[in-house]
Amino acid sequence: QVTLKESGPALVKPTQTLTVTCTVSGFSLSTSEMRVSWIRQPPGKALEWLARIDWDDDKFYSTSLKTRLTISKDTSKNQVVLSMTNMDPVDTATYYCAARIDSGWYDYWGQGTLVTVSS
Amino acid sequence: QSVLTQPPSASGTPGQRVTISCSGSNSNIGGNFVNWYQQLPGTAPKLLIYSSNQRPSGVPDRFSGSKSGTSASLAISGLQSEDEADYYCAAWDDSLNGRVFGGGTKLTVL
């Protein structure tokens, strides 16, 4: 059974760096064709894709946020980590991770973690 | 401004058939598969349709997806009150080299 769980701070201050972690189970981060993405959703707004990391360590970033984002994975811990620098109140959102574990487009989502940016 | 365009709202009465559109371009919908997600209030998005027209097991066959050119559609037949939710389309964009989402459609069951 594939599951994903996001974790991270509930509150960060402006200008700080956010680090959120996605812990997966039911598959390996080294499995061929595996891809994990981060998506966020500000309160009352639409979904926004942020970044993706593949089984072969290929990485993709949102063009509007790429200067602030870093995605990485720790296969031994079954974790994918997203860092976002210089946080601002407009970055307040629920952050989700989602995974595809084969070459198709069926994906699995975590429950999300709400991050509030406030001083 | 989302890359994929959806109507902000849709509505129907119980039993009716409702269609939600998702408009894109050659770099996203025109050349890639589309996923649809259902999001109930306060919950994570749930995969409703993948690869443009495939239903995950457990999703009722009242839900169907289609794609033509640079547009995609989600159809819900036999509308039920529990279908009231936000619906999002998504696709990979070859020009942006990233995934793009629609702005979401809020479905109201009257």
CB contact under 8 A, A52 and B99: yes
Residue B107: closest CA among B3, B21, B4, B5: B21
State how far the Cα of B31 lies from the Cα of B8, in Å rounded to an integer: 24
Tokens of B107: 């479905």
B95 touches chain A (CB under 8 A): no
Please write the tens of the pLDDT for every residue from A35-65: 999 999 999 999 999 999 999 999 999 999 9
Average pLDDT, chain A: 97
Tokens of B13: 């009465």
Please write the tens of the pLDDT for every residue from A59-96: 999 999 999 999 999 999 999 999 999 999 999 999 99
Q: List the beta bridge partners of residue B36.
A: B49, B89
Residues of B in Cβ contact (< 8 Å) with A107: 35, 47, 50
Residue of A nearest to B43 (CA): A111
* pLDDT computed for residue A103 by the predictor: 81
Residues 6+ apart with CB under 8 A from B68: none
* pLDDT tens over chain B, length 110 residues: 899 999 999 999 999 999 999 999 999 999 999 999 999 999 999 999 999 999 999 999 999 999 999 999 999 999 999 999 999 999 999 999 999 999 999 999 99
Residues 6+ apart with CB under 8 A from B56: A106, B47, B48, B50
* pLDDT computed for residue B58 by the predictor: 95
* pLDDT computed for residue B1 by the predictor: 86
Q: Which of B35, B44, B99 sits opposite A96 (nearest CB)?
A: B44
Q: Quickly list DSSP for B34-71.
A: EEEEEE-TTS--EEEEBTTTBPPTTS-TTEEEEEETTE
A70 touches chain B (CB under 8 A): no
Cβ pairs A/B, distance under 8 A: 54
A47 touches chain B (CB under 8 A): yes
User: Which strand ranges, in their side-by-side order, compose the sheet holding B18-23?
Assistant: B18-23, B71-76, B63-68
